[in-house]
Structure 1
Amino acid sequence: MKILVIEDDPKTGDYLKKGLRESGYTVDLSRTGTDGLQMALNNAYDLVVLDVTLPGIDGWQIMPALREQGDVRVLFLTARDQLSDRIRGLELGADDYLVKPFSFTELVLRIRTLLRRGVAREADVYEVADLKLDVLRRKVTREGSEIALTNKEFLLLHLLCRRQGEALSRTLIASEVWNMNFDSDTNVVDVAIKRLRAKVDRPFATPLIHTVRSVGYVFGDAPEGAP
């Protein structure tokens, strides 16, 4: 797998080049936006690690040019840590966004995930019946009315939307949302579902969260026999 790093800071660029090579990748390094874009357009890379603030042209300008050229995977690695920056990067078509200072182990894991799953990117917006979930803006509406959710409630609803129509076990939900092994004596999932239902379902005519007996929960149209 061949990676292009576009990074103007000498220490960071050299560190990334050395570390990624030691992790088994072929790595090219560019220290300016102008040279980096030309390298990306003239060579076949599996992934580009892209800074935002660069000499010549910046990462925001490089990103659309990469998308016009093709579907190379792009990971923004930048000190720009505002939510608006992350939204902008992902809306421009980046596959991932990691903020400096960063863990090199996390960077490698994210790169491996991107290379393993290919160019398919997660949807930015999910629409199920009259419910709309905007991932980037962390905004949920139903029948046009905005619904205020806690962070965990949003993560739970995001999971349900991503896996719409699938019966999700409590074990899977606990692992995905709370990063915990499910203990049958713990009712954290059921309590969270109850609170989410109070906001997402109860004020509206048609429920979207359904219990699947002896399994867990499903989101969307009610499965046969579900309450």
Structure 2
Amino acid sequence: MDSPDDRLRGLSCGADAYLTKPIDSRELLLILARLRDREQARQAELAKLAPMAIPSTDAILGDNGLNEAEPPPSTPTGWTLCGASGLLRAPNGTARRISSNERALLMILGQAQGETMSAQTLAQAMNFGDGASHRHRIEVIISRLHRNVEQSTGMHLPLMSVRGSGYCVRDLLLAP
């Protein structure tokens, strides 16, 4: 599992790094520093774009991922996804910050406005490719998203599987 082809495949699937044993601690430290710097640059860029301050994850979510502060209001009958921060707000007012892959998936489905999209189309739109393993990756993202959102908000995300066709999302407002 540490051949150049394996490493290249892992990196092409979106990994920030592909480490194999034994791990050189200097390499690990450089990778972690790069990730930290990238996140700090992203936060600085978001601060420039947003006229209001975007609260940190800790200000919105507690250690258990549940809402502990008052989030911005959501739509009365639907869900709201802030594309810039990745904050998903449920109709009951609770909020959860979602991963970049979850955000990209919901943005794509939200822009389709209730239309069904196949797993293959979603995988291609997310630059995963079109193989069976990439379609499985979509299924894993959706499964984790459902589980995590329901645990943290107490509500079922209206992201539905359409038998034999794909996936669609209803009642999702996309905010900048």
- TM-score w.r.t. structure 2 length? 0.49
Q: Which has the higher contact order (CA 8 A, sep 6+)?
A: 2
Compare the two structures and name the one with the higher helix fraction: 2
Compare the two structures and name the one with the higher strand fraction: 1
